[in-house]
């Protein structure tokens, strides 16, 4: 099964940039997008329209989001025994020291600030890929709370696809 990234981002421009950068850097990564914190939590907890969502290997989380902001999403992820092992990387335009400190206090796995230029943005996504998705040892997916019956099937299917 390809690596799954959950991108929590409300800015359409940044979404587009991140998706395009991943396509170039590593086309095997599957990027799932949600636009606010409420959706992010529904995705992670397989609720509502996300009942079939997969468990992400990595979360890229913006801080300033509508409905429920990134700090709150982060706090909920890192307090939940089923979710806290998912590496959660803050990716935000804020460079405020208060945001950096607060994020690490809430147990963010790391904090990255979004660069303004396309090239720099692209290299940042590349370094996220090279570091988090290639080098770092990520926890294996096993049954979290609900819902891991279906990915079983997905795994077989994608293995077959690769073999074919």
> Site residues (CB under 8 A) for other proteins?
78, 81, 84-87, 95, 97, 100-101, 104-105, 107, 109-113, 124, 127, 130-132, 135-140
C-alpha span between 22 and 93 (Å, rounded):
19
Closest CB 118 distance from other proteins, rounded Å: 16
Closest CB 100 distance from other proteins, rounded Å: 5
Q: Pick between residue 49 and residue 97 the one whose CB is nearest to other proteins.
A: 97
Q: Tokens standing for 2? A: 């390809």
Closest CB 101 distance from other proteins, rounded Å: 5
Q: Pick between residue 49 and residue 137 the one whose CB is nearest to other proteins.
A: 137
**Spatial CB neighbours of 48, under 8 Å, sequence gap ≥ 6:** 42
Q: Pick between residue 11 and residue 113 the one whose CB is nearest to other proteins.
A: 113
C-alpha span between 120 and 117 (Å, rounded):
5
Q: Tokens standing for 55? A: 């468990």
Q: Pick between residue 52 and residue 95 the one whose CB is nearest to other proteins.
A: 95
Nearest to 131 by CA among 1, 11, 3: 3
Kindly list the strands in the beta sheet with 30-34, ordered across the sheet, starting from the edge strand earlier in the chain. Answer: 30-34, 4-8, 58-61, 88-92, 110-113
Closest CB 161 distance from other proteins, rounded Å: 26
């Amino acid at each position: 099964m390809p690596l799954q990234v959950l991108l929590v981002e409300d800015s359409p421009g940044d979404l587009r940039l991140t998706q395009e950068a991943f396509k170039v850097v590593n086309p095997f990564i599957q990027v799932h997008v949600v636009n606010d914190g409420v959706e992010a939590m529904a995705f992670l907890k397989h609720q509502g329209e996300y009942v079939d969502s997969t468990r992400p290997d990595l979360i890229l989380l913006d801080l300033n989001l509508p409905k429920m902001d990134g700090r709150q999403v982060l706090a909920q992820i890192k307090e939940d025994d089923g979710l806290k092992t998912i590496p959660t990387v803050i990716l935000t335009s804020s460079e405020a020291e208060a945001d950096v400190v607060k994020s690490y206090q809430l147990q963010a796995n790391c904090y990255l600030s979004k660069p303004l230029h396309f090239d720099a943005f692209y290299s940042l996504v590349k370094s996220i890929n090279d570091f988090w998705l290639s080098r770092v040892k990520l926890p294996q997916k096993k049954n979290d709370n609900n819902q891991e019956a279906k990915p079983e099937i997905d795994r077989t299917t994608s293995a077959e696809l690769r073999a074919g």
